[in-house]
Every structure is written in structure tokens, then in C-alpha cells.
Structure 1
Amino acid sequence: MAYVPGVALLAALVVGCSAGADSNVNGVDSKAGSPTVTPAPPGKYLTLPAPCRAVPRSTLKDLLPGAAELPGDQQEKVFRGTAAVTYDTDRKVGCSWKADAPDATRSLSIDFERVVSYDPTVSDDDRADTVYAKKEKAAGLSSSATTGPDAEKNAGTPGEKSKGGADKSKGSGDGESEDAAGDASASADPSSTASPSKDPGAGGTGSSGSGSPEDTLPSRILDNLGDAAFLQDQPNRAGSTAQHRTVSVVFRTSNVVVTVRYAEQPALVTQVSDSRELQEKAQALARKLAETISE
């Protein structure tokens, strides 16, 4: 066996360590062509509000006028609401309420979805914007500028935008889950998919009390609500004998997408729901929820 002097052995060890250190300076692989990936920033929100406690009782009394006339125990049950079935309360929660009055039945539901991107190159906000854009397209609407990683794919043509359709789930990995009650379809009634227009003012100037078609504001993109928002007004489907109207307000704030649905079923088929009143109250609630999330 060859003998290596101590000084020579020590020098060899020093040279070997130096070579190894140079190949991974500052934790960067020295191999040619190795890209450096900077993770996209996380979303602003890490949790969601308790949905059945997100709407104040005073607001529920206004939205569900029949509930105030019920006996104490029944009234409590109505105001308590019914939580939506969900298997991940950190990602999606919801609640619904319903009350009968002599002249009509009104129902309310709210859904919160916290979108998480599992792609390190796509931020939670961008993924949430994609989820929101699909809901907007399903409602037959389109904002002037759509952002997010799938903006080009979601743009579509004017003909495609008018068809609508439900937002199908693609798994919890990308946050694109289907709405519990289904996204409002543009094919429900031609009057529900009028040409998009900007919100003339958050809520207007009070109920008109007529509910006639000429007083109905169209489905439209909304201003000054979260990062993006739209309203869809759906009268009952053609051929239905019962009058029914559902107003949906959907908005995104950072990586959370919120859906508010407010509906009325008049007691008599000859009665028509007041579209302006339903729209104003749905918008007012959506703005309160946006403030609640931001607190």
C-alpha cells in the first residue's frame, strides 16, 4: 500500500472541498440551463368567515320579511340558516335561508370559495380570477379586460359568451369547483342576458314597486365591488306557470370568490317580483360581505 505524506493528504482534501463548494454556490446548481423559479405570492386570505353568522339578523329580517311574523322557535330556526354541505371548510363554505310570507316566499344563499393555486408559477389571486371569469362567462357577461393565467382561453367570442353554462368542477387542486346551486345560465330567459352595462350606481334610488320589464335593470358588470363583480337577474324559465325571479351577485376579492343569490316566489301567478328591489338588496348584502371579509 502506497504511503501518502500527511501534508499532501491534507492539501488533496482542501482542493476537493473547494471544488464541491464552487458547484453549489448560494444553493444554485451550476448545471447549465437550470432555471431559477420564484414562487408566486400567496393569496391574501387564509381562512373564510362562518357563513351562517356572516349576515346580521337585522339584514335577514329585511331580506326575509315573513320570518319576523313566525313564532319564536320557528323564527330562530329560520335566522339560524342551513349550512351548505362541504368537506373542506378552509376552502368552501355556504349558508341558506328561506321564509314564507302571505304574499311571497323569499330565499337567500351565500357561498364563499377560497381559491388556492398549486402551481408555483401562478398566484392564488390569478387562479381566483380564472374561477371568477368562468362564472362571469357562464352568466353571459364579459368584463372589458380579463386577467389571469387562462385569460386568452376564457375570452371566447360574443356568440360563445351568450350561451352560458355551469362552471364544471376540475378538482380541488385548482380551486375551480362547481357552485352548489349551479351558476346562473344565460339560456334561462332572453331578458336575463341583456347586453352588459356598467352599474349605474350601487343599488339605485329605491324600489320602483312595479317589477315590469321596462323597470328591470339588465344583468351587468358591477363597479366598486371587490376586484371584479357582476349581477345576473333571472326571471323564471319560459313555460313555467309560477312567477319566480333570482338575482345573483358574484364578486372576487383577492383569492376569495363570493356568490349571493336572492330569490322571490310570489304567492299568486299574476304577481310579478320587483326586480329593482331584489337587485338593490342583493347588491347591498354583497357589499356588506366584502367589508366583512376585509376586516
Structure 2
Amino acid sequence: MAYVPGVALLAALVAGCSAGSDADDPDADSKPGSPTVTAAPPGKYRTLPESCRAVPRSTLKDLLPGAAELPEEQQEKVYEGTATVTYDTDRKVGCRWKSDAPDAARNLSIDFERVVSYDPSVSDDDRARDVYGRKQEAAALPAPGGVTPSETPDGSGSASPDGTPSGSPTGTSSATPSADPSASTIGPGEDLRPRLLDELGDAAFLDDALTRAGSAAQHRTVSVVFRTSNVIVTVEYTEQPARVTEVPDSKELQEKAQALARKLAETLSE
């Protein structure tokens, strides 16, 4: 029993070391005076709309004129649309519609993307701004009065003798904003080339691409992309005439694509 006090002393020393250890202390690494990191605010939107029901039936009838000539059962199938395959409907949803008519085929698609930042120091809005910025950069919009290679069928950026880019949308050389920001009608003096758009979400742009190289029939796709808070919306509207010699009208497609984009923006803000 003479060695028991020694054992007791050893146990006391071990207990004292354990009590003074900071291994299990979550604040052990913090230093006095270190700044506290405040989490960035979340985005405005936590969910997304049901994409295939986001476009009113009356709008679909206008955008897909060929569907009106179909039997009622087939009309319903066209107007229902086809949902985009996605694995997280809280982050990304979309829908597609297609209509064939004797004179032309029309395709419409809409996509909603809710951007979430997993970095506590970066807000959802800032992250969405970066994602939108990359989309705008990829569109390679021309500078005012300029021409981009994408405006020509061969990608050379060549222009016709009168200075109009070959294969580009018909329009004037300068844009004249509409007096009514909510109006969908494009004025006679407005530039129809790819461009930034005003009064649509927090930021928006329009792209207009005519595809003819390597295709028997030309088709034109007008894309409108806009961001509102942490949600990015893309509208694509395509027309392919039945006749090879016909060129889809930029003005009509742009008017209708912009009008739909504004309706979707209003729906999101409700």
C-alpha cells in the first residue's frame, strides 16, 4: 500500500492535463480580437415555378400557331409541353414545346436556374451575377455599331457591300429604346442585333442567331436571358420555315420572345 499515494498523484496530474487541454474546445483556435465572419444574405428565391405551367395557354397559342390546326387531343399534348429532365427541381427546371405547321415549325423552351452560393462570404445574388455574366460573355454581344463573327454564316465576320453584316438580323445601326419599358413592340428604328436589354430583371440580354451553313432549311433562334436576384431565366424561340428560300423574321421572333420573358419576370416578382 506504500505506492498508492504515488498512483493517486499520477492520476491527479493526468486529470489536470486533461482539464487544461483545448483539443475539444471549438473556440480553441480563435484568437482574441479576431473578426467574426458574417454569413452573406440568402437569395430572394427559395423555390422555382412549375415550368410547364409558367406560360399561359393564350401565349402558347400565339407562339405555336400550328397547334391550333391539330385535333383537340393533339393540341392538348402540344400545350402541355415536355419537362426538362432534372435531378433537383429546387435548383433547375425547364419545359419545351414544339409545333409544326405547313409553312413553318416553331420551338419554344424556357429554363429557370436558382443559383445558390455555398460560400458563406458570397451571397446567392453575387454568385448568380457571376453565372449570368459568363452567359452574357459567351453570347459575345457586339459592341454598339460593331459586328461579331457569329453574325455571319461562315464565322468570318464579313459584311456585304452596303456594310450590313451578312446573315445578321435586319435593323438600323443605333438602338432607340421604347418609351414604355413594358411594351413588347419593337420600334421601327430599334436595332435588331444581339444586345443588352433594359427594364427586364436586374440584367438581361438578347441573342439572335440564323443558322444556314450545312442545313437545307434555315432556322432562326432568338434567346432572351435575364437575371432577377438569384434566379436566371432563359427563353429560346426558334422558327424554321418549310421553304428553303425563306428567312425567319427577326422582329416577330424578338417581340414575342421579349414579351414572354417579361411575363415570366412578372410571375417571379409576384
Q: TM-score range by the shorter chain?
A: 0.7 to 0.9
Q: Does 1:200 align with 2:177?
A: yes
C-alpha contact 2:84 2:96 (8 A) present in aligned 1: yes
Give the match's secondary structure for 2:227.
strand
SS state of the match for residue 251, structure 1?
A: strand
Alpha-carbon distance, 1:73 to partner = 0.8
Contact 1:52 1:95 (C-alpha < 8 Å) held by counterparts:
yes
* Counterpart Cα distance in 2 of 1:226 and 1:31: 44
**1:95 counterpart = 2:95:** yes
- Give me the whole-angstrom Cα distance separating, in 2, the residues matched to 1:189 and 1:74: 43
Extract unaligned runs of 5+ from structure 2: 6-18, 20-25, 158-166
Q: How does 1:47-66 map to 2 (within 5 A)?
A: 47-66=47-66
Distance verdict in 2 for CA 1:136–1:188, change over 3 Å: farther
Distance 1:28 1:290 in 2: 48
For the residue of structure 1 that corresponds to 2:79, the secondary structure is helix
Paired position in structure 1 for 2:118:
118
Q: Which residue of 1 aligns with 2:160?
A: none
Partner SS, residue 121 of structure 1? coil
- Pick one of 225, 231, 252 that aligns with 2:227: 252
Where 1:241 maps in the other structure, the secondary structure is coil
- Residues 5-35 of structure 1: CA deviation (Å, up to 9, x unaligned): xxxxxxxxxxx9xxxxxxx9xx998624633
TM-score (norm 2): 0.76
Q: Which moved more, 1:271-280 or 1:233-242?
A: 233-242
Opposite residue 42 of structure 1, the aligned amino acid is: P
1:271–1:162 CA distance, 2 compared to 1 (3 A): closer
Structure 2 counterpart SS, 1:43 = coil
CA RMSD of aligned residues (A): 3.7
Q: Which has the larger radius of gyration?
A: 2
CA distance in 2, matches of 1:96, 1:198: 31
AA matched with 2:184? G
Structure 1: 4+ residue segments shifted above 6 A: 27-30, 186-189, 193-197
Deviation (angstroms), 1:272: 1.4
Partner Cα separation in structure 1 for residue 39 and residue 173 of structure 2: 36
Counterpart position of 1:284? 259
Deviations 1:112-131 (A, max 9, x none): 00000001111000100111
Q: Matches of 1:121 and 1:142 in 2, distance apart?
A: 34
Give the Cα separation in 2 of the matches to 1:143 and 1:41: 34
2-side partners of 1:40 and 1:97: how far apart? 38
CA–CA separation in structure 2 for the residues paired with 1:226 and 1:163: 28
Q: Between Structure 1 and Structure 2, how many residues are aligned?
A: 236
Q: Identity of counterpart residues, as a percentage?
A: 69
How far residue 107 of structure 1 moved from its aligned partner, in angstroms, is 0.5
Correspondence for 2:16: none
> CA 1:205/1:130 → structure 2, altered by over 3 Å: closer, same or farther?
closer
Q: Is the 8 A contact 2:92 2:111 kept in 1?
A: yes
Aligned mates of 2:91, 2:176 — CA distance in 1: 30
Please give the TM-score of this superposition, normalised by the length of structure 1.
0.70
Give the equivalent residue in structure 2 for 1:7: none
Secondary structure of 2:131's counterpart equals: helix
CA distance in 2, matches of 1:127, 1:163: 30
Task: Provide the residue aligned with 1:226 in structure 2.
Answer: 201
Instruction: Report how far residue 162 of structure 1 moved.
Output: 5.4
